[in-house]
Structure 1
Amino acid sequence: MDEIVRQAMAKWPNVPHCVGWLGLDARGRWFLRDDAAQARGPFPQSRGDEIRHEALLAFIARNYAVDARGQWFFQNGPQRVFVELEVAPFVWRVQGDGSVQTSAVQQAGAVRECLLDEHGRLLLACDLGLGLVHSLDMERAAAQVEAGRWTPVEVLSRTLEQRFGYVRSPAQGARQAAAQP
């Protein structure tokens, strides 16, 4: 986490969290979801505006973390911006040597499990967490499978959140909590 972010958190410890305003899609793209995007529906059906500013993308990557409930967030100064996930907390890029990293070039560490869901999506559980293999890297992933380095195990996508301890939609959870008497 950036030092400037730590300082802002110490200076303003009680800034309300932000829910529903940031999304990560299955191709590793980040989206800002203003009121209009949120009114059109949940993520990813209503994505919002793609973030393309390289410095902002790098800032998000450096300050991306998970809370004790498995909700991923971007710590934006003193404010925690919870992330709506299309599939998983990470989208992996498979390198020519078989190593795995995020689109922000953060190393994922060792591949611990290789999973294939009912939609044909390949996911890898790595030291850093669970991530979806980017669609452009399926040929490289297939080479790892063919070489016997990864063995896909079939899994139902609806079981991934509980099994790997993450929340795909903090906004949905917040709406459900607000509806409780």
Structure 2
Amino acid sequence: MSRFTLIETPLSGLTLLQRHPIGDQRGYLERLFCREELAAIIGEREIIQINHTLTATAGTIRGMHFQRAPHAEMKLVTCLTGEVFDVAVDLRRDSPTFLHWHAEHLGADNHRTLVIPEGFAHGFQTLTDDCELIYLHTAAYQPEAEAGLNALDPRLAIPWPAPVGDRSARDRDHPLLDHTFTAFEA
């Protein structure tokens, strides 16, 4: 029995993973990752780094972050506590969905993971207080490769579901998209 169902999204390569916990009166056991069962989407990549975040206040936006080549990464994003509106933006210049975005509600109750491949920016808005996320990364964080989009960029037109709350100075300072934007280069 598979512990996962893979659900394709409208953006090629961006996959929603529905996890299938096994439970009884005590609670449940849930697999967050299995290289063998996820080989079709993970390929030869390895999980290199695992990060955990806590965002205290509903309405907070984090992102839209990505790492440039050669440090580009696939991320598997899971919300362990609370609920978030999780967004990925296609940055692959040759993609028919270049600069299109897709969002999913991830939460403790729906047992979903968003698998975000290389070539996408990622961010989220918290819909509850005290949201905890876990990220599995296929590349280590490299400050010199860090980049981002402005989550409030009118060209992206992401309809954040809650009033926009806190954003870091770094995220607020990401420039708006213009003719000088260089897409993701593999």
Structure 1 length-normalised TM? 0.22
Greater share of residues in helix: 1
* Structure ranking higher on relative contact order (CA contacts 8 Å, 6+ apart): 2
Greater share of residues in strand: 2
Structure 2 length-normalised TM? 0.22
